[in-house]
Amino acid sequence: MKSTTTFLGLIGGAVLAAGLAFSFGAGAREAAVAVPPPTQDETPAPGTTTETIVLAGGCFWGVQGVFQHVKGVTRAESGYAGGDGATDYETVSTGTTGHAESIEVTFDPNVVSLGTLLQIYFSVAHDPTQLNRQGPDSGTQYRSAIFTTSDAQAEIAKAYIAQIDGAKVFGDPVVTTVGPLNAFHAAEDYHQDYATLHPDNGYIAYADLPKIAALKAMFPQLWLDQPTLINAAGN
């Protein structure tokens, strides 16, 4: 199996040559977009070194892979949020639980701000204009959603969506919902670190590695060569 670094090197030039765009076919397109930074951001309270937010944006493999390569992110865990039903992958995949495949992002706000994480989320992690789908995956479990852990997070996220829509950054309106996190349920162990462990998987190579390559190209100051993995020693 090729290493992630090698595989990213192979696809990086192709992604850049295509204007950082990648597609899944007509009517099911995702593309990296240069979204401007938020005009409203969070100032961490003195002594605060850890904050969490839960982000949903399609299959959690790729979203996790993106945030595991971001400086200041200390943990990015795949799981389920937003519903009240069973929390196993097979049941969530039926679309009947109300849950969305999500990533719990734990970060140091002194290194990377909430606003910057949201900029990455809207720019490269997924297409926030796709309703109840992402690329080739369809269903409410693949919806775009932000689950906040504070009123301040909710205010910043809503203001950012209004800013993006007002500037008409995308051709279509952002459909991302914002609401408080009730609970986050970690996904099964085999889903964790999936993009890193399976770079030769056809879905990963086609749908997710281009997102990670776009992160490196668009946010080089935040890029981590070695991803912060869930199953790494001490994490």
162: in domain: yes
Q: Specify the pLDDT at position 2.
A: 24
79: in domain: yes
**Domain enclosing residue 71, as ranges:** 4-21+50-222
64: in domain: yes
Rounded to whole angstroms, the Cα distance separating 88 from 79 reads 9
Q: Which of 23-32, 126-135, 226-235 has the lowest mean pLDDT?
A: 23-32
Q: Is 204 considered catalytic here? A: no
| Structure confidence by residue, pLDDT tens digits, 113-140 | 999 999 999 999 999 999 999 988 999 9
E strand residue ranges, the chain: 21-23, 29-31, 51-57, 73-81, 100-107, 133-134, 137-138, 144-148, 177-180, 184-186
39: in domain: no
Q: Specify the pLDDT at position 31.
A: 78
Phi and psi at residue 134, in whole multiples of 5°? -160, 115
* DSSP conformational letter for 213: H
| Structure confidence by residue, pLDDT tens digits, 161-203 | 999 999 999 999 999 999 999 999 999 999 999 999 999 999 9
Query: For the chain, what is the domain count?
Result: 1
| Structure confidence by residue, pLDDT tens digits, 78-114 | 999 999 989 999 999 999 999 999 999 999 999 999 9
Q: What is the CATH number of the domain that holds 110?
A: 3.30.1060.10
34: in domain: no
Percent of residues, the chain, with pLDDT higher than 90:
83
Q: Specify the pLDDT at position 189.
A: 97
45: in domain: no
93: in domain: yes
Q: For residue 3, give Cα distances in angstroms to 26, 85, 180.
A: 31, 37, 38
State yes or no: pLDDT of 3 exceeds 50.
Answer: no
Rounded to whole angstroms, the Cα distance separating 215 from 167 reads 22
Query: Amino acid letter at 47?
Result: G
- Find the catalytic residue in 20, 59, 124, 212: 59
**Which one, of 103, 53, 106, lies nearest residue 75 by Cα?**
106
The first and second tokens of residue 162, run together, are: 């209004």
**Which one, of 117, 94, 76, 70, lies nearest residue 222 by Cα?**
70
26: in domain: no
State yes or no: pLDDT of 232 exceeds 80.
Answer: no
What is the side-by-side order of every strand in the sheet holding 184-186?
Answer: 177-180, 144-148, 51-57, 100-107, 73-81, 184-186
